Amino acid sequence: MDRSICIILMIALAGAQASAEGLLEPSCSTLLTGDLANILMVTDVDGDGVPNILMGTKIGGNLHNYVYKDADCTQDWTHMNGGWTYDTPGDVRSFAVSDLDGDGRNQVIINSITSSHTQNTPKEYVYVIHANGLEDWDFNKECGLSASVDAADVDGTGIDNVILGTKSKKVCALADDTKSKKPVLWSYVAADPVEFVKGADMTGDAVPEIIAYSGGYRKGDLTLLSPLGQKLWTAKISGGMYNAMIPSNVIKVATLSSVGPPSIVIGTYESGVQAYSNAGKLIWEYKTGNLISAMEVADIDGDSDDEVIIGSAPNVIILDGQGKKVASWNSGSEKTIYSISAYDMDSDGKKEIAVGTHKFIYVLDDDGSKYGEWKYTVEIQGLTKAYEERDADAVSVFMGDLDGDGEAEIASAWNWQQDTHRGNQYSLALRAFEIDESYREAPPTTTTVMAEPEPDVDKPTMTEPTTTVVTPQRDDTIEDEPQEEEEEEEEEGGMCCIPMLPAIIAAALAVLLRLPLAIRRD
């Protein structure tokens, strides 16, 4: 984007306000204007024992690599400690990490698609980047319009093959040597555009099968392919998956029973969460009455069986391997739950759950009760108005050890937008938090005066703007999300004086009519 605009808007952003004392203590933060985050992945890309925070973005089409360890939070920490940014340009919703050439060092495979915000089209769809950020190769020959990537050794050579799912309805496996005359090992043609591919050994023979999701408006197919690209089964997903969803957030491989083969769990638009066996049989289904907007699988209680944690506004629900509810928590807000991550942050053998939603990160204990929260309201000094506040969306949250010191931290990507005379201005912030394990929020029923007041997420805070705020245009917002509170205030403000107008006219008329009468009486 234009640098001068970027700088002006960075100055215009006065800063962020957040709840102070609490479970999460903000450490590093990076502000990126003119862009929105899609996903975070935390993994040790360069094999130095320190995790890398990889973030794919929607408008800039960037893949950012941040290193948190010894990060200087006052500077752009992408470029500290071996971090980098790769510009595709386009919309990065899918990437994978693997050692594709067997030299012991990983590559990052980036898939970029045309951005729905800018119509920026990437030069190529698939980029392979070395851990130092340099491009190795790209791929856009056969299997064009790729929308999803993964890496899996389908031909058993010991080198992962790049797997592509494409808008042109194909699933493709590339040869180990993509520069060979036949770079495509095999391709499978689905009924609809392929939105998601993932390699996973579903049969226990140590060779990965390929999970693919293909779909259109309110319809979808979940398909399992053999390592040779033959269809093993397809399950029809009634109503499909919500089309703005990032599929990797709601399609997971789970060990629902430690004695059996793995299963596939999928969060759907209208059919709740469904669990499929490795043979394609629907094992169970859990309906919530709302779309599933986030999901994670993790062994919360430490019994070797995975639980399924689902986000379906306003609830976060923990299901056991049989799809039975074991715990749930209500956020008190109808706003979308964007992201879920699970990690044993206090080393008691049970995993806590981090939840990213509108304006908040919540951390829940293993029993689903609230441990603590962090609120992010961005204060904007607008170009035409004095001040506005915007609640940021925690679109992606990761809880785990970010710096390799054995202690848990949280990384999160926050998106928000403001209206300027140039149109919508998008911003994102990547934030890292230290965790204060000794902190525990008082239960909501506590009435002692010593207790901190429970923030009410439904009510606008005292600092909500009362001035006019233009309705945000969000083409990718999850459609069940209720309207912003600001709109209601604006309407009330506009309507308030009209009923009073007849009363004012009547009073004025009464005064005018009485005056001459009073004079005549005298």
In single-letter form, the type of residue at position 382 comes to G
Residue 416 or 433: the one with the smaller Cβ distance to Ca ion is: 433
Are 398 and 42 within 8 A, CB to CB?
yes
Nearer to Ca ion, 409 or 441 (CB): 409
**Whole-number Cα distances in Å, 209 to 8, 199, 223:** 50, 6, 10
Q: How far is the CB of 77 from Ca ion (least distance, A)?
A: 15
Angle at 375 between CA 248 and CA 466, to 5 degrees: 115
Nearer to Ca ion, 51 or 314 (CB): 51
CB of 420 to Ca ion, least distance (A): 38
**SS3 of 437, please?**
coil
Q: Which is nearer to Ca ion, 157 or 473 (CB)?
A: 157
| Cβ-based nearer residue to Ca ion, 365 or 484 | 365
Looking at the Cβ atoms of 131 and 297, the one nearer to Ca ion is 297
- What does the alpha-carbon distance between residue 355 and residue 363 come to, in Å, rounded to a whole number? 6
**Both tokens of residue 28?**
């590093």
CB of 256 to Ca ion, least distance (A): 9
Distant-in-sequence, close-in-space partners of 100: CB < 8 Å, separation ≥ 6: 107, 109, 128, 151, 159, 160, 162, 176
| Residues of this chain that bind Ca ion (CB under 5 A) | 153, 155, 157, 159, 161, 176, 299, 301, 303, 305, 344, 346, 348, 350, 401, 403, 405, 407, 409
Count other Cβ atoms within 10 Å, centred on residue 457: 19
Shortest Å distance, C-beta 348 to Ca ion: 4
Phi-psi region of 159 (alpha: psi -120 to 50; beta: other; left: phi over 0): beta
In angstroms, what is the C-alpha Rg of the chain? 26
As measured in angstroms, the least distance from the Cβ of 136 to Ca ion is: 16
* C-beta of 258 vs 446, nearer to Ca ion: 258
Coil, helix or strand for 85?
Answer: strand
Least distance from C-beta 370 to Ca ion, angstroms? 14
Nearest to 43 by CA among 91, 92, 98: 98
Pairing of strands 209-216, 315-319: unpaired
Dihedrals phi, psi of 514, to nearest 5 degrees? -70, -30
* CB of 405 vs Ca ion, minimal distance in Å: 4
Cβ nearer to Ca ion, comparing 258 with 466 = 258
CB 154 within 8 A of CB 173: yes
Residue 116 sits at φ, ψ, to 5 deg, of -70, -20
Question: Minimal distance in Å, beta carbon 236 to Ca ion?
Answer: 29
CA distance 356 to 344: 17
Rounded to the nearest 5°, which phi and psi values hold at 187? -140, 150
Q: How far is the CB of 205 from Ca ion (least distance, A)?
A: 15
Q: Which is nearer to Ca ion, 407 or 488 (CB)?
A: 407
- CB nearer to Ca ion: give 346 or 464: 346
Q: How far is the CB of 300 from Ca ion (least distance, A)?
A: 6
Shortest separation between residue 446's beta carbon and Ca ion, angstroms: 22
At 494 the three-state DSSP class reads helix
Measured CA to CA, the distance from residue 218 to residue 292 in angstroms comes to 14
Nearer to Ca ion, 42 or 457 (CB): 42
Which residue, 151 or 429, is less far from Ca ion as judged by CB?
Answer: 151
- Residue with smaller CB distance to Ca ion, 9 or 53: 53
Q: Are 123 and 88 in contact (CB under 8 A)?
A: yes
What tokens appear for 38 in the block? 């899609």
3-state helix, strand, coil split of the chain in percent (to 5) is 10, 45, 50
Measured CA distances, 161 to 41, 96, 379 (Å)? 20, 11, 46
Specify the residue, 401 or 481, whose C-beta has the smaller distance to Ca ion: 401
Give the torsion through C-alpha atoms of 64, 65, 68, 70, to 10 deg.
-110
> Least Å distance between CB 367 and Ca ion?
10
Work out how close the CB of 254 gets to Ca ion at its nearest, in angstroms, rounded to a whole number: 10
369 half-sphere exposure, CB direction, 13 A CA radius: 8
Residue with smallest beta-carbon separation from Ca ion: 157
Distance CA 284, CA 274 (A): 6
Query: How open is the CA angle 505-508-509, to the nearest 5 degrees?
Result: 85
Rounded CA separation 130/93 (Å) = 19
Task: Tell the smallest beta-carbon distance from residue 17 to Ca ion (Å).
Answer: 26
